[in-house]
A and B are shown apart, each in its own frame.
Chain A
Amino acid sequence: MNKQKRARQILLYALYITSVCCLQVTFPGFFRLFGRTADLMLVFTVFAGYLFGPVDGIVVGLIVGLFRDYFSGPVVMGLNQEPVALLGIGMLSFMYIGLLSALLFRKRFRRKLFLGILQVELMTLIYYVSGHVLSYIYFSVSRTMTSYHSLRYVVVSCILPQLLVNAIAALPILLVLRFIGPYSKGVRSALVDGYSMEDKQWQSV
């Protein structure tokens, strides 16, 4: 990749990441449907990994996670029974989202465009299910709460609407990434993952 292409890639990634992160936390009401806000950060990270491979997925995941930690990092009870804001949870979880998005079903999906939405749904499911399971464990162990959300609430009011809202938000992000960049022509030619791209079945619509 020559310098010009590299600069374009970095510039576009920086633009996308700041836009996606800032939009989600500044105007959550605009992206809200069925009581849930579209998780633009998660959708973007999934697509970075799914379309452009594990390295892009991990790097984007780390940066998006850093933004998430910075803007609204999770709060837990500290050792002195005072709430403390944690740093790093967003980075860790989004790094793995980026990595998993690049690796899961890569042979089956072949990074085809609209199957990316399926990957977003899968990653949303993994993120929210694991988030609720870990929260449940944390509250049970720390005994800071006597009760947790009912399973029905988690499934019907949290996960299902979130899947729907993320799927809607995924379409414009997917089209922008595929047809504007960060890579010219929307395809990262270097990304073959050991498979030939000559059969034109990879990264096709």
Chain B
Amino acid sequence: MRKLFSNKLFVIALVSLILIAFIVFSSIPGSPLSNITKPLSIVIDPIQSVFKKAGSKISDFYAAIAEGMEIRKENEELREQIAELEYQIQQGEEAKLRWEELKSAFAIQDTFENYHIYGASVLTRESDDWFSVIRINVGERDDFDSRTTSYAVVDAQMNLVGRVMVTDEDSSKVLPLLHEGFSLSAKVNVVNGALVMLNGDITLKKDGLCLVTRIPTNTILQVGDELVTSGEGGLFPAGIPIGVIESFDDSDPNHLSATLRPYASLADIKDVFILVPNPNADKQQETDPDTSENTVPSSVPETSDNSETMDTAETNDTTVVTGGDTEA
């Protein structure tokens, strides 16, 4: 046996076989092999964070030197704007009160009222053409995991960025909107807008575009039409803006297709937000039948009750939670 292991070719072949088995088993949904990265996460993520912080500080330092004069000028302008904004805040407070009155009178709900919103920073980006998912700095330690479901990831303007795929101890993998493995049900953002399917496409990815398929026949999409999430399929709440139609191909009436330019640009994003369904929302609807008809995500999947353990700042039912070192 020892002789066998001293044979270099045998060792290389054995390691290769083990790795191939590893790849095959990791492709099985729910495979326990996906948990193998959790111990790694405990070691690598802090190191990664140190690099990120050091890099940010260096770039901030050089930016401060390079942009010193501009910053001084901007500072003067900003002081003038502050005075103006103070006045607007006072007006806004009054408007808010009126909005709350109207909201309770007409039983209007905010778009993502039944969702917790977790803030996170982008830790790592793609390595090459094939290793192209990103990592963010929230994970199971922040009391959510993606084993039972996935979550929508949006940017600061609430535009769709992607979805959480795998959660580790301190970080999570996010499948970006442009990735060829991404697909979701979307709808044209007009009254009774058509339902379509949005897919990442390997040939369109390089131009920052997605493919729109399963467009109902007799539907004509115009360049500039906005697509939002339909809420069907259960992963995403309805109404998250995705992007606008860039081109429409009706050369084959049976297979209409279009390209979409997403609002969110992954290259520029430093911070993202994760929408996690609020498990208490269902209970509230049961106790408050008047507002049950207005519930936004009818098909939102159930999640484990994690809201009570979190350090949250609640306003109505919407909760904003900051996980990790969000820069925004």
Could you tell me if B181 and A88 are in contact, using CB atoms closer than 8 angstroms?
no
Could you tell me if A79 and B28 are in contact, using CB atoms closer than 8 angstroms?
yes
B95-154, CB < 8 A from A: 123-135
Question: Among the listed A75, A92, A128, which residue makes an inter-chain contact with B175, where contact means beta carbons less than 8 Å apart?
Answer: A75
A88 and B44 contact, Cβ closer than 8 Å, known pairs A68-B131, A83-B182, A148-B202: no
A77 and B181 contact, Cβ closer than 8 Å, known pairs A71-B131, A88-B20, A90-B131: yes
Known pairs A85-B173, A88-B19, A149-B203 / 8 extra A-B pairs, C-beta < 8 Å: A22-B124, A72-B125, A72-B126, A86-B26, A95-B16, A144-B181, A145-B180, A149-B202
Return B173 CB to nearest CB of chain A, in Å.
6
A-chain residues with CB within 8 Å of residue B201 when the two chains form the complex: 145
A-chain residues with CB within 8 Å of residue B165 when the two chains form the complex: 75, 83-85
Could you tell me if A84 and B27 are in contact, using CB atoms closer than 8 angstroms?
yes
Return A13 CB to nearest CB of chain B, in Å.
15
Question: Among the listed B15, B128, B134, which residue makes an inter-chain contact with A39, where contact means beta carbons less than 8 Å apart?
Answer: B128
Return A29 CB to nearest CB of chain B, in Å.
7
Could you tell me if A26 and B48 are in contact, using CB atoms closer than 8 angstroms?
yes
Of chain B, the residue at the smallest CB distance from A42 is: B128
Could you tell me if B133 and A72 are in contact, using CB atoms closer than 8 angstroms?
yes
B49-101, CB < 8 A from A: 51-52, 55
What 1/0 mask marks residues of chain A from 54 to 89 whose CB sits below 8 Å from any chain B CB?
100010001000111111111111111011111111
A-B contact pairs, 10 of them (CB 8 A): A26-B123, A28-B125, A54-B8, A62-B15, A70-B37, A88-B19, A92-B23, A131-B130, A145-B180, A149-B206
Could you tell me if B20 and A80 are in contact, using CB atoms closer than 8 angstroms?
no
Question: Among the listed B15, B20, B127, which residue makes an inter-chain contact with A25, where contact means beta carbons less than 8 Å apart?
Answer: B127
Is A201 positioned at the interface, with any CB of B under 8 Å from its CB?
Answer: no
A-chain residues with CB within 8 Å of residue B166 when the two chains form the complex: 85
Could you tell me if A87 and B202 are in contact, using CB atoms closer than 8 angstroms?
no
B: number of interface residues (CB 8 Å)? 50
A-chain residues with CB within 8 Å of residue B23 when the two chains form the complex: 86-89, 92
B-chain residues with CB within 8 Å of residue A80 when the two chains form the complex: 29
Could you tell me if B26 and A25 are in contact, using CB atoms closer than 8 angstroms?
no
Report the bound CA distance from A73 to B130 in whole Å.
8
Is A123 positioned at the interface, with any CB of B under 8 Å from its CB?
Answer: no
A-chain residues with CB within 8 Å of residue B181 when the two chains form the complex: 75-77, 83, 144
A-chain residues with CB within 8 Å of residue B267 when the two chains form the complex: 29
Could you tell me if A70 and B44 are in contact, using CB atoms closer than 8 angstroms?
yes
Report the bound CA distance from A88 to B52 in whole Å.
25
List the interface of chain A (C-beta within 8 A of B).
18-19, 22-29, 37, 39, 41, 54, 58, 62, 66-80, 82-92, 95, 99, 128, 131-132, 135, 139, 144-145, 147-149, 153, 157-158
Is B291 positioned at the interface, with any CB of A under 8 Å from its CB?
Answer: no
A87 and B26 contact, Cβ closer than 8 Å, known pairs A22-B47, A26-B124, A67-B44: yes
Is B34 positioned at the interface, with any CB of A under 8 Å from its CB?
Answer: yes
The 9 closest A-B pairs by CB, nearest first: A25-B124, A83-B181, A88-B22, A88-B23, A22-B51, A87-B26, A72-B131, A92-B19, A75-B181
Could you tell me if B20 and A92 are in contact, using CB atoms closer than 8 angstroms?
yes
Could you tell me if A147 and B125 are in contact, using CB atoms closer than 8 angstroms?
no
A88 and B125 contact, Cβ closer than 8 Å, known pairs A72-B133, A149-B202: no
B-chain residues with CB within 8 Å of residue A88 when the two chains form the complex: 19-20, 22-23, 26
A73 and B133 contact, Cβ closer than 8 Å, known pairs A25-B127, A86-B27: yes
Return A76 CB to nearest CB of chain B, in Å.
6
Could you tell me if B26 and A85 are in contact, using CB atoms closer than 8 angstroms?
yes
Is B214 positioned at the interface, with any CB of A under 8 Å from its CB?
Answer: no
Of chain A, the residue at the smallest CB distance from B20 is: A92
A-chain residues with CB within 8 Å of residue B47 when the two chains form the complex: 18, 22
Report the bound CA distance from A194 to B48 in whole Å.
40
Report the bound CA distance from A28 to B126 in whole Å.
8
B-chain residues with CB within 8 Å of residue A153 when the two chains form the complex: 206
Could you tell me if A87 and B34 are in contact, using CB atoms closer than 8 angstroms?
yes
Question: Among the listed B8, B124, B180, B203, which residue makes an inter-chain contact with A71, where contact means beta carbons less than 8 Å apart?
Answer: B124
Is B223 positioned at the interface, with any CB of A under 8 Å from its CB?
Answer: no
Report the bound CA distance from A18 to B201 in whole Å.
32
Which residue, A18, A28, A80, A86, has most C-beta atoms of chain B within 10 A?
A: A86
B-chain residues with CB within 8 Å of residue A99 when the two chains form the complex: 12
A-chain residues with CB within 8 Å of residue B37 when the two chains form the complex: 69-70, 87
Return B2 CB to nearest CB of chain A, in Å.
18
B-chain residues with CB within 8 Å of residue A147 when the two chains form the complex: 202-203
Is B310 positioned at the interface, with any CB of A under 8 Å from its CB?
Answer: no
Could you tell me if B48 and A131 are in contact, using CB atoms closer than 8 angstroms?
no
A84 and B16 contact, Cβ closer than 8 Å, known pairs A67-B44, A72-B135, A73-B133: no
